Amino acid sequence: MAKRTFALNVNGGSYEVFVEPNKCLHDTIREDIGFTGTKEGCGTGDCGACTVWVDGAPVTSCLVIVGEAEGTAITTIEGLAKDGTLHPVQQAFVEHHGMQCGYCIPGMIMSSAALLRDNPHPSDDEVRHAIAGNLCRCTGYTKIVEAIQSAAKA
Amino acid sequence: MHRFDYYTPSTVAEAVDLLRSKGAGGKIFAGGTDLMPAMKERGRHPKYVVSLKNITDLKGISFDAASGLRLKAGTKMSAIHQNATVQQHYPVIVQGAKLIGSLQTQNLATIGGNVCNAAPSADAVPALVVLDATATVQGPGGTRSLPITEVFKGPGQVSLAADELMTEIQVPAPLPRSAGYYLRHVPRKELDIAIAGVGVYVQLDEAKQTFTHARICLCAVAPTPLRATGAEAALLGQPATADTIAKAATAAAADARPISDQRGSADFRRLLVNALTVKTLTAALDMIRAGR
């Protein structure tokens, strides 16, 4: 099928993209709209690096074809900071150095920010469950959990 | 991913008509969590994709104390396990839905998709089997209903025609003094595929001493989700004791038809079925006796 126009709402802005219908949301967000904060790891829904919110729910954007996202409100890592101030979870990752190479962190923050929105004071087990779909190959997760719990207490 | 045509019908009838008129080589796109990896990495190349996202009639959960639960086939796993009614009346459905992939997966994957993907290891299916669920499917000739067990033909194979669409799953009202439980064995804590799983649903008599109804479904130990009929017979009419449960667990291991593969040997899977049957039946009895 030829390219066609899809209308997307990303971080509160309206965008029209002209792409093939087999393009996934992740590639569309990065290549056609220009929000490059979202990363792709595996491309098959296993690693969580590409996690964005669709209507507030974390999903792996590599498993969403572009048309499936029409009519939804998409939030990427660029949509969390407000008026130049980092989201509390972002700030906590900075302060606690909850990262090493950093590649998984945008997805990790999307999952943990959704957790704290729905469950402001989670246990460590609840934190680890919430980020179970986000693989980090550097940190061993300890600093990440500390950062999220610090944001919960802030 | 190869190119495909993409359609977004807004009614079930329109979707069925597309599947009929476009012919072979199409694929229904529900949550996409199985189809997308298959299209990206496992050589699945549909000519066209029929998306269910605009069909509002495929989403929703309703419950009636007399007739039971209706799950529209396009309802997402997270919507099911977060639903207070499902949590209250059908905790075994919640247990299965919470085990599917990651939270991100559960926000995309649908109950109809998990059924129609027909994985022998599908975690949402044992609960539906033990609760005697039925599925409604719609095709060009109209709608029909079939027991959920009759949907499955083999790994990835279902009895639905290519132009039929699963629209709804009905679950009967819970029996008095009954409880269900599902457990699987995985080497990791999260995001894994069952090496073996066991779902049970049992009812006790008014004195809570004797099994008066028993369903057991085995997961990942046969080409399809499998009713353990030998184990069910070992429970029915028998005293609700550890001895009866041990006999049923032995029978369940005999009912299993596992293969050996990279995730576990057939012998190991039979041992798991035995152990998980004891655990799930014991947990279900505890729930009934605690009045849930």
Q: Which residues of B touch A46 (CB under 8 A)?
A: 191
- pLDDT-based confidence at residue A85 (cuts at 50, 70, 90): very high
Partners of A21 on chain B (C-beta within 8 Å) are 4-6, 49
CA distance B24 to B227: 32
- In the sheet with B5-7, reading across from the earlier edge strand, the strands are B5-7, B48-51, B26-29
Flag if B104 and A58 touch (Cβ within 8 Å): yes
> Residue B33 in 3-state DSSP?
coil
Class of domain B178-289: alpha beta
Cβ–Cβ gap B4/A133 under 8 Å: no
For residue A100, the distance in angstroms to the closest alpha carbon of chain B comes to: 23
CATH topology of domain A4-78: Ubiquitin-like (UB roll) (3.10.20)
pLDDT digit string (tens) for B211-234?
A: 999 999 999 999 999 999 999 999
Contact B104 A59 (CB under 8 A): yes
The answer, for A63 touching chain B at a CB cutoff of 8 Å, is: yes
Task: Please answer whether residues A64 and A8 qualify as being in contact, where contact means their C-beta atoms are separated by less than 8 angstroms.
Answer: no
Which residue of B lies nearest to A20 if distances are taken between CA atoms?
B3
Q: Where are the beta strands (DSSP E) in B175-210?
A: 178-185, 196-204
Size of interface A-B (CB pairs under 8 A): 89
Architecture of domain A88-153: Orthogonal Bundle (1.10)
CA distances from A133 to A129, B19, B182, B191 (A): 8, 34, 22, 7
Q: Do A132 and B2 touch (CB under 8 A)?
A: no
**Interface contact B104, partner A, CB < 8 A:** yes
Q: Where are the domains of chain A?
A: 4-78, 88-153
| Token pair of A150 as six digits | 């610090």
State residue A1's pLDDT score: 63
Fold topology of B57-171: 3.30.465
Model confidence at B292, pLDDT cuts 50, 70, 90, reads low
- Class level of CATH domain B5-51: alpha beta
Q: What pLDDT shows up at residue B290?
A: 94
> Which residues in chain B are closer than 8 Å to A67, comparing Cβ atoms?
6, 8, 51, 53
Local structure of residue B226 (DSSP, 8 states): E
* Per-residue pLDDT tens digits for B50-66: 999 999 999 999 999 99
CB contact under 8 A, A45 and B101: yes
pLDDT tens digit string along A32-56? 999 999 999 999 999 999 999 999 9
Judging contacts by C-beta atoms under 8 Å, the chain B residues touching residue A22 are: 1-4, 6, 39
| Strand (E) or helix (H) holding B48 | strand B48-51
Reported confidence tier of residue B33, pLDDT bands at 50, 70, 90: very high
Q: What are the boundaries of each domain within chain B?
A: 5-51, 57-171, 178-289
